[in-house]
Chain A
Amino acid sequence: MATIELKTDITGSVWKVLKQVGDAIEEEEPLLIMESMKMEVPVVSPEAGVVREVLVMEGETVSDGTVVARVEV
Chain B
Amino acid sequence: MNKVLVANRGEIACRIIRSCRALDLRTVAVYSEADAHALHVTQADEAHPIGPSPARESYLRASRILDAAKASGADAIHPGYGFLSENAEFAEAVQASGLCWIGPSPRSIRAMGDKERARVMARDAGVPVLPGSARFDAGAPERIEAAGQEVGYPLLVKATAGGGGIGMRRVDAPDTLREAVEATQSMATKAFGDGTIYLERYIERARHVEMQVFGFGKGVAVHLYERDCSIQRRYQKIIEESPAPGLPAPVRQRMADAAKRLCWEQGYEGAGTMEFVVDADTFEFYFLEMNTRIQVEHPVTEMNTGRDLVAMQIDHARGALAAMDQSEIAASGHAIECRIYAENPARNFLPSPGRLECFSLPEAGNDLRIDTGFRAGDQITHFYDPMIAKVIAHDTTRQGAIDRMLRALDAVDIEGPATNVAFLRATVDHPEFRAGRVFTGFVERFKNELVRA
Contact = CB atoms under 8 A, between A and B. Distances in A.
B353 A11 contact: yes
Contact of B353 (A9, A36, A41): A36
Candidate in A9, A11, A36, A41 with the most chain B CB atoms within 10 angstroms:
A36
A4 B354 CA distance: 28
Interface of B: 54, 234, 342-343, 347, 350-354, 382-386
A38 B385 CA distance: 5
Contacts of B353: 10-12, 36-37
Given A37-B342, A38-B384, A12 B351 contact: yes
A65 to B, nearest CB: 13
B384 A37 contact: yes
Interface string A11-32: 1110000000000000000000
Given A12-B351, A36-B382, A37-B383, 6 more contacts: A10-B351, A10-B382, A13-B54, A13-B382, A36-B353, A39-B351
Contacts of A12: 351, 353, 382
A13 B382 CA distance: 8
Candidate in B234, B353, B382, B386 with the most chain A CB atoms within 10 angstroms:
B382
Q: Contact residue range for chain A?
A: 10 to 19
A34 B352 CA distance: 13
Interface of A: 9-13, 35-39, 41, 61
18 contacts: A9-B347, A9-B350, A10-B351, A10-B352, A11-B353, A11-B354, A12-B382, A13-B54, A35-B382, A36-B351, A36-B353, A36-B382, A37-B351, A37-B383, A37-B385, A38-B385, A39-B351, A61-B382
A19 to B, nearest CB: 15
A35 B353 CA distance: 12
Chain A binding surface, main DSSP class: strand
B190 to A, nearest CB: 11
Contacts of A35: 382
Contacts of A38: 384-386
Nearest to B385: A38
Contacts of B347: 9
A38 B384 CA distance: 6
Nearest to B353: A11
A41 B314 CA distance: 38
A41 B347 CA distance: 12
A38 B351 CA distance: 9
A10 B385 contact: no
Contacts of A41: 350-351
B350 A11 contact: no
A63 to B, nearest CB: 9
B350 A10 contact: yes
A11 B353 CA distance: 7
Nearest to A38: B385
Contacts of A37: 342-343, 351, 353, 382-386
Contacts of B386: 37-38
